[in-house]
Amino acid sequence: MKILIIGGAGFIGFSLLKELINYKASITIIDDFSRGKMDKELKKINKNINVKLLKFDFLKYPLNKINKNFDYVLNCAAIVGVKNVIKNPYKVLSLNTNINEKAIELCKLQKKLKKFIFFSSSEIYSISQKKNICKIPTDEKSNILFEYSNSPRNSYMISKFYGEKMCEYSGLPYLILRPHNIYGPRMGFSHVIPNVIYKAIKKNNIKVESPNHSRVFCFITDACQLVISLMKNKKAVNLIINLGSNDKEIKIKKLAYKIKKIIKSKKKLTLGKITTGSVSRRAPDIRLLLKYCKGFKFRSLDDGLSKTIDWYKNFYEKN
């Protein structure tokens, strides 16, 4: 297999790279490192003879200089993070759309493309969930609602929805994935799990925002194995599929107590305010996912949290 990962130095892209190496695939990754990092882990993998790293801005690089023999192209690149989105919503809309447009143009130049995979977001459902017009767990056929608002946070959701429609109208063999609360080592520091871990290790107390909101979490290795399975499945094409786990919803405060217990932290846990724009519940209906990935065994939340905590502990010890 010849695979291109756009945004391959980021959390999901890098984790996919690690998994795909086990399949003896020839993998090219493109990243401008505006968010991803050339850390020790990526440097080590980059030494693999089956991995080629192209460090440049994808939007500025000529398409005719990129290989035309990829079997699969995966677009993991986007401006993400609530703070980044709120700070510059126009940039989020324009860049996320332009990156996907160029990825589609590149795919159309491929000689034997089997599938283009676009990573959308569970944020697609956010307004529908806030207005209670979709069920929870939420399936892929739920109506997507837009609101009469100029809230900058909506820019990310809109960019992803537009990206989905670009795929659907492109004429390419596509697969759209909507990741739901994927977590694990090397995921950054702004999301709820690494944020609580940081406070439990580094701060005097553990303040938890949106404590009564609930989520279903999926460990990164599970997510990547599912993506690869869907990628290789010839029948999983021209579809939108939720990417997540079959675990139970857990309230953020209970999640924080779990992390505190695993770390064996004696620091006080306090409950903060609701984060502006956050939905109270988010859980994916994954029946369609399991239709194409039958019998998949998910890692337990406790096990995934332990592996994630170990990575962050090691990171803080060395930095």
Residue ranges making up the domain that contains 223: 2-187+217-246+282-298
The tokens describing 9, both together, are 């130095």
In a domain, 275, yes or no: no
For residue 89, whether the previous peptide bond is cis, meaning omega lies within 30 degrees of 0, is no
- Write out the DSSP string of 168-182: HHS-S-EEEEEE-SE
Question: How far apart, in Å, are the Cα atoms of 214 and each of 14, 219, 278?
Answer: 27, 16, 10
* pLDDT-based confidence at residue 263 (cuts at 50, 70, 90): very high
Indicate the average pLDDT of the chain: 94
- Asked whether the predicted pLDDT for residue 276 surpasses 90, the reply is no
Which one, of 277, 59, 35, lies nearest residue 149 by Cα?
A: 277
pLDDT digits (tens, 9 = 90+) for 50-109: 999 999 999 999 999 999 999 999 999 998 777 778 888 999 999 999 999 999 999 999
- In this predicted structure, what is the pLDDT of residue 236? 98
Number of domains present in the structure of the chain: 1
* pLDDT-based confidence at residue 24 (cuts at 50, 70, 90): confident
In a domain, 201, yes or no: no
- Asked whether the predicted pLDDT for residue 33 surpasses 90, the reply is no
- In this predicted structure, what is the pLDDT of residue 148? 87
- In this predicted structure, what is the pLDDT of residue 281? 96
Q: What is the 3-state secondary structure (H, E, C) of 58-96?
A: HHHCCHHHCCCCCCEEEECCCCCCHHHHHHCHHHHHHHH
pLDDT digits (tens, 9 = 90+) for 212-254: 999 999 999 999 999 999 999 999 999 999 999 999 999 999 9
Q: Are 191 and 161 in contact (CB under 8 A)?
A: no
- Parallel/antiparallel/unpaired status of strands 214-215 and 250-251: antiparallel
- In this predicted structure, what is the pLDDT of residue 283? 98
In a domain, 52, yes or no: yes
Q: What is the CATH number of the domain that holds 107?
A: 3.40.50.720
In a domain, 309, yes or no: no
- Asked whether the predicted pLDDT for residue 35 surpasses 80, the reply is no
- In this predicted structure, what is the pLDDT of residue 82? 73
pTM: 0.96
- Asked whether the predicted pLDDT for residue 36 surpasses 80, the reply is no
- Asked whether the predicted pLDDT for residue 39 surpasses 80, the reply is yes
Q: Are 17 and 50 in contact (CB under 8 A)?
A: no
- In this predicted structure, what is the pLDDT of residue 277? 81
- In this predicted structure, what is the pLDDT of residue 124? 96
In a domain, 312, yes or no: no
pLDDT digits (tens, 9 = 90+) for 160-192: 999 999 999 999 999 999 999 999 999 998 899
In a domain, 34, yes or no: yes
- In this predicted structure, what is the pLDDT of residue 278? 87
Share of the chain above pLDDT 90, in %: 84
Which one, of 211, 195, 212, 210, lies nearest residue 309 by Cα?
A: 195
User: What is d(CA 70, CA 1) in angstroms, rounded to the nearest whole number?
Assistant: 8
Query: If phi over 0 gives left and psi between -120 and 50 gives alpha, with beta otherwise, what is residue 27?
Result: beta
- Parallel/antiparallel/unpaired status of strands 72-75 and 268-271: unpaired
In a domain, 82, yes or no: yes
- Asked whether the predicted pLDDT for residue 201 surpasses 90, the reply is yes
In a domain, 25, yes or no: yes
